[in-house]
Structure 1
């Protein structure tokens, strides 16, 4: 079996994997993704504090949601787990599922777009930022990025296309492409989640039924991928077939764990988003009925009143005859 090797500025653990080693504060030489998450959290918190100091409301729940997503990225991509993810299929799958399924809902529920539009100054350096944001929201590229015909295939290609085409063995042995893949996983997860649960101003909005269709289209294919991985009798990714000897890892047993994660852990966020969509759908329907009843109480129903008058006229004419 060949020795494990990966090009680039990486730190590889020497001890066998354990929970304490996974959570140990061992940063990679270039912790790019944790640094980006930290910056995003700082900018978001600065915007929220600005609104609060100005006496303008901003939801603490949204703030906690976004910061939780940033903290999750920092832990999953910045602790010792990142080092083991360089050579273990199960850990890499856990990271991928976290970036694509668990983190995006936390970030999207924080409504960072709305916060940026409210907190960014409309003069000096803030004006180009707002113009760029509004261009992205109104452009055809923004509509394309969150269109189901683009974001659902992109989301599924991150699993089927990546592992079944041989791209994994080509890209994973290099640190730069490895980190690029992790960023792509996060981006595809955000693009999939935004049209489903985002409250930010979007270039187009799906109906609640359309959102449910997208969720149901993803869930079985996602679970089926996990079943394929668990049923495989040989390594699906040759790169993970030769982990460092000091880790004492059985590659096939590790692959079975990766498949189980794809089947179980990957489904939980989808179910929670489905419940969120159903609750929001019911709430919007209730608001619509309440608004309609208030309108009837204040303005009446002209069409129904005219029809009742017509029936009354017919009844009066019959009585006269």
Structure 2
């Protein structure tokens, strides 16, 4: 029999997994995550409203991206899926993958840091307000370290292998608090990993588009291999889900293989989404650079091109003089 989350000794019989039961709003909703999602939505929309009242524009696409990102968090933490995540590895893995590989990408497209920098009021002389604290944090040594690929990539990999392939997972899954801490950790790791890669918000590390793609491709093979290792395992890797409730009607080893398939699939889908986003960003960057060069040429009469042509003509004259001599 399975133990009810946070209530040792009490059993919780769940019916077999169906889409309707998983997506249904559960009576024992995860209150901390529900409050957190409402705060994330409220703070972001407050910033958008403040900009609009000030006469500034904010792209609707960014607002939609943020709302969708927060809704994906609520979808895997505030519905029946959260209950199944305490009793089935496949359900838990789906939560993990969404929170670490899907929600962060969509949320970062909403540019929350940029919105905060624009919406927060500037402080008076000699005072430090929320905006000043945010700017100081972005330029702090701590953020430079935790947002550097040398930190985010090992953390991203360790969150997979160091958790599921060690006794740490079973230890955390003993209580609801441990399960919730894992969910918060997955979301935080995903945000840190994709923040410099997406490059929408300002940050200490802003490599070129090719380097961002390289960072993405370095991490994804580790993720894919993790999923394949679980899919091909012949024994149970964690003991938490070794004895699922009979009402679920699942075989723990088959469920583990399904969890591995989910992990493998999520190494492909987010990569595709990020590559599309980076391609559009790259194209827009080149377009802005071209317009800037055109404006500069209009102001100075195409001085840069004339200087380059004069340089080539000078080289040709020197070559002719050397040949005559």
- Per the TM superposition, whether the score is higher than 0.5 is yes
Query: What is the CA–CA distance in structure 2 between the aligned matches of 1:318 and 1:246, rounded to whole Å?
Result: 93
Structure-2 residue corresponding to 1:298? 302
The match for 1:57 is 57
Matches within 5 A, 1:122-201: 122-123=122-123, 127-201=128-202
The C-alpha deviation readout for 1:20-55, integer Å capped at 9, x for no partner, is 111111053652122211110111011111211222
Q: What's 1:275 paired with?
A: 276
Total equivalences in the alignment: 317
The separation in 2 between residues aligned to 1:27 and 1:115, in whole angstroms, is: 34
Aligned mates of 2:27, 2:73 — CA distance in 1: 13
Tell me how far 1:311 sits from its aligned partner.
Answer: 3.3
Runs of 4+ in structure 1 deviating by more than 6 angstroms, as ranges, are: 316-319
How large is the Cα RMSD of the aligned pairs? 2.5
* Superposed CA offset, 1:237-292 (max 9, x none): 11011112211111111111101111113320112212322332344345435544
Aligned to 1:8: 6
Bigger CA drift: 133-142 or 274-283?
A: 274-283
The runs of 5 or more residues in structure 2 that have no matched partner are: none
Cα distance in 2, alignment partners of residues 174 and 243 from structure 1: 16
Q: Secondary structure at the match of 1:154?
A: helix
Q: Secondary structure at the match of 1:93?
A: helix
Q: What residue in structure 2 maps to residue 218 of structure 1? A: 219
Question: Does the CA-based 8 Å contact 1:84-1:91 persist in structure 2?
Answer: yes
**Residues 47 and 116, structure 1, Cα contact 8 Å, conserved in 2:** yes
For residues 42 and 129 of structure 1, the distance between their equivalents in structure 2, rounded to whole angstroms, comes to 17
CA distance in 1, matches of 2:122, 2:21: 47
Aligned to 1:259: 260
Say if 1:141 and 1:27 are closer, same or farther in 2 by CA, change over 3 A.
farther
Q: TM-score of the superposition, structure 1-length normalised?
A: 0.90
Q: Which residue of 2 aligns with 1:74?
A: 74
Taking structure 2 as the reference length, what is the TM-score of the superposition?
Answer: 0.89
Name the CA distance, whole Å, in 2 between partners of 1:316 and 1:219.
58
Q: Does 1:209 pair with 2:213?
A: no
Question: Structure 1 residues 310 and 123 mapped into 2: Cα distance closer, same or farther (>3 Å)?
Answer: closer
In the alignment, the residues of structure 1 paired with residue 28 and residue 295 of structure 2 have an alpha-carbon distance, to the nearest angstrom, of 60
CA distance in 2, matches of 1:12, 1:37: 26
Relative to structure 1, the CA distance from residue 227 to residue 306 in structure 2 (aligned partners, 3 Å threshold; closer, same or farther) is closer
